[in-house]
A and B are shown apart, each in its own frame.
Chain A
């Protein structure tokens, strides 16, 4: 498939556990974004990677959230010590250098018990 791939598609975990969400962007796309959509809300920006530049972390809601992008391709979003308010759909998107539109994956639905 040529689209953005995210895994897992669903994740249920207990409060306090750490989770890792993975994103494989479209081949050749240098920009990668993470968003989340809470119930009844729009998409909320979390973090943005562009090539080798320092990421824009301005949307991360707390220091429990972090993300890496290895080799300019795959990205992992990590949430430590999960809380119930972290329950949401986490969406990854990618785009060409400095361009729109962003192309989205199908998301990871995270449920914190």
Chain B
């Protein structure tokens, strides 16, 4: 039972354009969501997070949007840069239960 889904295994975006990565979840108990970025042979690196009391969180070029009614979140990267090429994982948890449930990842390729 995949509680966190990233339905696009890959995405290619032109440098300078906006990258939009999507994530859906099924467990209504999830109340905290994170995005991680992973380069080959390295561990995931935390990018940005959002609590369910918010619908948007912004950090530099990265913005995460949360739509609780649709159980959907998205990560926007603008402008996209070649160094953004990586696999992006969406993760979710709920307060008091610290383990993260991850999606299967989306491989983002930024085309120069």
Contacts and interface: CB of A to CB of B under 8 A. Distances in A.
A100 B98 CA distance: 8
A100 B105 contact: no
B104 A45 contact: no
Nearest to B2: A42
Interface residues of A, number: 27
B103 A100 contact: no
A31 B99 CA distance: 10
Nearest to B93: A100
Interface in B44-59: 44-46, 49
Interface in B61-108: 89, 91, 93, 98-105
A25 interface: no
B34 A100 contact: yes
B104 A100 contact: no
Interface string A65-102: 00000000000000000000000000101010010111
Given A105-B43, A106-B42, A43 B49 contact: no
A26 interface: no
Interface residues of B, number: 23
Given A43-B89, A43-B102, A101 B43 contact: no
A43 B34 contact: no
A104 B44 contact: yes
Interface centre among B6, B42, B89, B99 (most CB of A within 10 A): B99
Contacts of A42: 4, 6, 89, 102-105
A44 B3 CA distance: 12
29 contacts: A4-B43, A33-B98, A33-B100, A35-B102, A41-B104, A42-B4, A42-B6, A42-B102, A42-B103, A42-B104, A43-B89, A43-B100, A43-B102, A44-B102, A45-B100, A48-B98, A59-B99, A91-B43, A91-B44, A93-B43, A100-B32, A100-B34, A101-B46, A102-B46, A102-B100, A104-B43, A104-B44, A105-B43, A107-B43
